[in-house]
Amino acid sequence: MKNNGFFSVYALLWLNIVCAGSLLIIFSAVALQNAKKDMNLFDAQIAAIYRTKLRMKEMNRCLLEKEHGSKNNADSQTAEPQNDTNNESDETLCIAEPEQIQYRDVLIRLDYEQECCYIRLNDQQLKIVYDIASLSIIDLE
């Protein structure tokens, strides 16, 4: 009887160690999955910023082409006063259309405006303030 009780306690001790080890493995796997999910969100933020920078270059090129084209038209025509509405319409034509990108498991929606870009990453929202002429990002909110 004494030996049987000793082996029972010994077996229960090993069972406790195995259960604690398995719980540790489960908790670390869940933590790793959460860290991976957060890392995908951070990677998506970086991808959205690079995409915005690329679109800024395209918008800048468009504005330069419109400006160069309007100067050529003004030189060829008689001297007429330029309307500010023409400038504004040229700028709005060069603003990129909204776009939607899937990056891993994060849905990125980019809405471009004249001076900023609104970024939606699943349920998180960011705002990038930029200057198209200098191709620089001024602020990230």
| Higher local confidence (pLDDT), 27 or 89 | 27
Say if residue 73's pLDDT is above 70. no
pLDDT at 83: 52
pLDDT tens, residue by residue, 97-132? 899 999 888 899 999 988 899 999 988 899 999 988
Average pLDDT of span 13-42? 87
The percentage of residues in the chain with a pLDDT greater than 90, rounded to a whole number, is: 28
Gap between the Cα atoms of 117 and 58, Å rounded? 14
DSSP one-letter code for 96 = P
Among residues 62, 71, 54, the alpha carbon closest in space to that of 92 is found at 62
pLDDT band at 79 (very low <50, low <70, confident <90, very high): very low
Give yes or no for a contact between 101 and 49, defined as CB atoms under 8 angstroms apart. Answer: no
Gap between the Cα atoms of 60 and 74, Å rounded? 21
* pTM beyond cutoff 0.85: no
Say if residue 49's pLDDT is above 50. yes
| 24 C-beta neighbours (distance < 10 Å), count | 10
| 117 C-beta neighbours (distance < 10 Å), count | 24
Q: Tell me which of 26-40, 42-56, 61-75 is least confident.
A: 61-75
pLDDT at 96: 76
pLDDT at 30: 86
Buried b / exposed e over 71-97, threshold 16 CB at 10 Å, is eeeeeeeeeeeeeeeeeeebbeebbbe
Say if residue 84's pLDDT is above 60. no
Average pLDDT, the chain: 82
